[in-house]
Amino acid sequence: MKSADKIKQLFKKAGLSINSETDEQVFADVLRARQKIRENVPAVPEKWRIIMKSPLVKLAAAAVLVIACLTGVFMFSQTSGVAWAIEQSIEALSKYNAVLVEGSESFLDEEGKLQMRDTKMWAVANEDQTRVKKERHEVDGVPTIVTNGQETWRYDPQTNTVIKNLPYGTPEGWIGGRFLEQLRAFQESGLMNHWEVTYGKDPVSSKQRAFLTVAWLDKRYNGPRSMWFEFDVESKLVVGMKQWENANWEGPPRIVSEKITYYESLPDELFEFEIPDGATVIEHQVIPQSDNHI
At a CB cut-off of 8 Å and minimum separation 6, what does 76 contact?
A: 48, 84, 85, 197, 210
| CB 116 within 8 Å of CB 252 | yes
Phi/psi at 96 (5° precision)? -120, 135
CA-derived radius of gyration, the chain: 22
Total residue count of the chain as it appears in this document: 294
pLDDT value at position 110? 83
Given a cut of 70, whether residue 24 has pLDDT beyond it is no
Say how far apart CA 238 and CA 230 lie, in whole Å.
6
For residue 220, the 8-state DSSP code is G
CA atoms of 228 and 216, how far apart (whole Å): 12
Q: What are all long-range contacts of 135-140, with beta carbons under 8 Å and residues at least 24 apart?
A: 135/170, 135/172, 135/271, 136/270, 136/271, 139/105
Mean pLDDT of 262-286: 91
Residue 165 pLDDT class (50, 70, 90 cuts): confident
- Collapsed DSSP state (helix, strand, coil) of residue 149: coil
pLDDT at 87: 96
CA 211, 217, 222, 225 dihedral sign is positive
Range from 22-26, 32-36, 224-228 that averages highest in pLDDT: 224-228
| pLDDT tens, position by position, 61-106 | 333 333 333 333 343 444 346 689 999 999 999 999 999 999 999 9
Query: Quick one: angle between helices 3-13 and 24-40, nearest 10?
Result: 100
